[in-house]
Amino acid sequence: MNFIGYNDKQIEAIKETEGPLLVIAGAGSGKTRVLTTRVSYLIQEKNVLPENILAITFTNKAAHEMKERINNILGLESRRIQISTFHSFGLLLIKQNYEKLGYKSNFTILDSDDTLTVIKKIIKDMDLDVKIYNPKAIRNKISSSKNELIDSGSYEKYVNTDYDKKVLEIFKRYEMKLKINNSLDFDDLLMQPIVLFKMYPDVLEQYQEKYKYILIDEYQDTNEAQYVLVKMLSKKYKNICVVGDESQSIYSFRGSNYRNILNFEKDFPSSKVVLLEQNYRSTKTILKSANNVIKNNKQKKDKNLWTDNEDGEKINYYRAVDEKDESYYVATQIKKLIDNGVDKNQIAVLYRTNAQSRTIEEAMLKENIPYKVVGSFYFYNRKEIKDLISYLRLIYNPNDDVSLTRIINVPKRGIGEKTIQNIITKAEENSESMFNTISSGKELEFKKIILNLIKEKDNCSLTELVELILEQSGMKQDLVSEKTIDSEIRIENLEEFKSITRNFEEQRGIVSLEEFLEEISLVADISEHNNNTDVVTLMTVHSSKGLEFDNVFIIGLEEGVFPHKNSYDTADDIEEERRLCYVAITRACKHLYIVNSKKRMLYGLDSMNPPSRFINEISDEYIETIGKKEDINVFKPKIDKNKMMNEDNDLHPGDMVNHDKYGFGVVVTIDGSIATISFKRDGLKKLMKNHKSIHKM
């Protein structure tokens, strides 16, 4: 195999095929290239059978990219390699062993909205106050529990209060409902394979024999369920290669645990470690700035990214007057770049929260700059699309009560809530599905429509089936007769759905309804970034992971915004915010702009925010400041110890104070008698503004 163009460490990571291997791959170090070449090396040089290789990554986009690259090297042989996301792989295991897990072959997968519908119904049946037992909060609690491999039986150990007891009851009813409906939720795709392996050790051994070589991408993003699944599969042969970077672990809110990658050497004592430290993406200045920031984290592997790229320009730092000035500055700088011949698709604006995009969008519109907001809207979440998918799912699995409840009166058929409730009650009394319970009335007419479509599904293409649903259900005619702008948009969306099915059929040939439903169930984000679109990209830092742009603007780098005010509680949270900043900086290839505001309307209040600590962590030699760089860390306050705040309580946002315990700080907001103060050492604190421990400077 030819290794021209690979550095020594990349070659080492490719050739080290036997036993456990940890590859710490820094930003822009070519990890995808290493992974794909390693797979090819196993087959071409080590004579490993393609079907004995399992490669797992986190997104459909990454899995597709890996498949394409390996296919370019191996050709048809690549089809025998299992390359997928964790959830896709979990689904495969369940499909191959559904009977052992107590499911029928035509099980359906509920999305987050569907699970919410089930939980709302359970809470209503239990006559609980939704203000106390918030359905979304309960759903998230159940989801996070399952990702920690805690089912309702195990959850009993965590019950301490009356609230917990009710949550447990909801959890139990939820699991029972899914079983009756022959349904799984998204979290089950990870949990149930582990249940399978624990119940049937012989099945586990079969898969251990099959997948003798395992590769895991983005290992720092694994949660408990993913971690356990990987350990179980690799236990026999231990030919496991994990690739990742703890400095880019930014998804703890999804359950990911960066400690999984830090503990790899403990889990596999015989493991070898390879550091990929050469960066091929960014200039020396950008890379050194990123290193400046991340070195302040304690929970990390020792590494130092370097590059042979040019030094590049200094980071451009602008401290705006307010958020409007911030947005105007960004828009005008982007305008200059475009006027100088820079491609729009090589410009990105990154922010900590989606709410920050509003003023940027306004400024972009004023400057006539074409842009797109990544992740702002999700095609499959549109009502008419979810209705259509529910028809498809009910045709495939008539026992899917969630889908039936959603569409039994779509379009309106005169089937009211009372009738639906009667069907639900009867179904629960007889321990059967709602569909099987229906025997009379207008609901029977609906049942006949579904039964007819079930007959037709094997005699027509997927696109033809969609057209039949639209006609026979009355959905299309109902929208046509409405004759509004909204109904026209909905019709266009349904037509767009048919474009999706046509493309699916053209790519795959003859496909089953099962295949299509699986595909759309596993789609993580329809609005993924497309570099071919000639527009400027606006997105959160979380959404930017894995992407790169020649020109990057990071806005809102202020205390309380980035790092976010919710991160001040623990050192772990602050470290994750710093990793997030590291990810933001390393998205830039050539030019980086960092921007913040002295004043910002935040949470309905005017706030005066000191510059983010992350700016102060970057050496001055790498920053070109427009105006004066403010540095709260080097500020030397003159304190009048005799002037107590209970004597002079006229505090205002932006005032500098000293606290007897917390030291130097800046007032962020005033709300009545409460002052929110950002302290350089301890972060945001809410204190009585006239407390004697606070000294105004």
Q: From the CA atom positions of the chain, what is the Rg in Å?
A: 28
| Whole-number Å distance between alpha carbons of 226 and 250 | 16
Task: Kindly state the DSSP code that residue 53 receives in the 8-state scheme.
Answer: E
CB atoms within 10 A of CB 386: 17
Per the rule left: phi > 0, alpha: psi between -120 and 50, beta: everything else, 649 is alpha
- What's the Cα-to-Cα distance from 638 to each of 616, 632, 643, 675, rounded to whole Å? 21, 14, 12, 21
* Residue 616: partners with Cβ closer than 8 Å, 6 or more residues away: 631, 632, 633
Q: Which positions are annotated as active-site residues?
A: 31-32, 217-218, 248, 587
Three-class DSSP category at 641:
coil
Q: Which long-range contacts (CB under 8 A, 24 or more apart) does 612-616 make?
A: 612/557, 612/558, 612/559, 612/561, 612/562, 612/563, 612/581, 613/559, 613/563, 613/680, 614/293, 614/557, 614/562, 614/563, 614/578, 614/581, 615/317, 615/557
C-alpha 202: how far from its chain's center?
34
| Whole-number Å distance between alpha carbons of 37 and 105 | 37
**Angle at CA 65, nearest 5°, toward 62 and 68?**
150
For the residues of 473-535, what is the DSSP string, one character each?
A: HSHHHHHHHH-SHHHHHHHHHHHHHHHHHHHHHHHHSS--HHHHHHHHHS---TT---TTS-S
| Whole-number Å distance between alpha carbons of 39 and 43 | 7
Beta bridge partner(s), residue 626: 318
For the residues of 232-275, what is the DSSP string, one character each?
A: HHHTTT--EEEEE-GGG---GGGT--THHHHTHHHHSTT-EEEE
**Exposed / middle / buried, residue 401 (Cβ in 10 Å: 0-12, 13-18, 19+):** buried
Cis peptide before 201 (omega within 30 of 0): no
- Pairing between β-strand 656-659 and β-strand 663-671 as defined by DSSP bridges: antiparallel
Give me the sheet containing 315-320, strands edge to edge: 371-373, 536-540, 347-351, 549-554, 588-597, 315-320, 623-626
